[in-house]
Amino acid sequence: MIRLLGIVFLLLAAAFSGQARAHDLRPAYLAITESAPDVYAVTWKAPALGERRLAIYPSLPKSAVEETQREGVFLSDAYVERWTVRAPTGFAGETITIDGLPESRTDVLVRIERLNGDTSTARLTPARPSFEVPASMGLRQVAAAYLGLGVEHILFGVDHLIFVLALILLVRGWKRICLTVTAFTVAHSITLGAATLGYLNVPGPPVQAAIALSIALVAVEIVNGSRGQESLAARIPWLIAFAFGLLHGLGFAGALSEVGLPNHAIPVALLFFNIGVELGQLLFIAAVMALFAILRPLWFRVVDPNASWSHTMPLVGAAYCIGGVASFWLIERVYGFWA
């Protein structure tokens, strides 16, 4: 059993560490910003591994004539390209397409910002690789776009999901789980709003490293609890969830700041992005609890009928896996400060 758990841990560590490196840059990103009348600065960012990039390319309307040569560079996990176009008729009513997107498994976030402050945002998927740019986005379109972005961010944000999983493993009872998750929600909503609106400005790399540390600390508390060493985190988990939730909110804000907020509907965009994050989080919690409901009776019936669920090998093994992966992320992200 121990050997099997070791193999499982190594597989999980390899899978999750790879996903963590691609977490922030998972979707491709196309930003078109009007820098002068009829002149637009274009930034295209596509996921990459080393010097191998994802084979997807933006196709702008023919009315947008390139004025400068494209300049591209490979970053740690993305290919970034910049150039300038002149579009005398603007982009309203025109179609933007991402070539190669139907054959990929990624999404593309598109943001068009005009000099008058109007902003259009869209999320393109393999099933929807193009869209017609509206003259301006109404509140309904803004709400739908940022709701989808919020759900997508949390469901693909492996480190945030693992932290929520660790909280579920730490807490006993539905009431305590609800209180803990609510505290986490309230906390990250506070810092998400404050950072996005410019009241907080914390560098991204230290935040990502601290998030990894928070996951590792909760994993330690799970193991201690399985040994009967109840700590403050086990007695008052909502307090710990609130404290670490403030930290995770800064991580959410980092993703949202990349996409930006429409100037004419900042409250709506921020609200629905946060709602999307919560919907994704609730979907994940429901899936985890359903899985527990299936596995717990099977474990008691097949393996050990007399065991306490809080002391079972799967629970402790999961805590060690979570802690090991989080420790790997912590080392990797701290090393990235100087890399």
User: What is the structure's pLDDT at 301?
Assistant: 67
pLDDT tens-digit readout, 32-72: 999 999 999 999 999 887 778 889 999 999 889 999 999 99
Nearby residues of 58 by Cβ (< 8 Å), 6 or more positions away: 30, 42, 44, 96, 97, 98, 99, 108
> pTM of this prediction?
0.69
Task: Give the range with max mean pLDDT: 16-30, 138-152, 321-335.
Answer: 321-335
Short-list 36, 53, 33, CA closest to 110: 33
Whether 123 shows a pLDDT value over 60: the answer reads: yes
How confident is the model over 227-255, as pLDDT tens digits? 777 777 777 888 888 999 998 888 888 77
pLDDT of residue 8: 42
- pLDDT digits 0-9 by tens, 290-307: 887 787 777 666 655 555
- C-alpha to C-alpha distance for 171 and 251, rounded to whole angstroms: 24
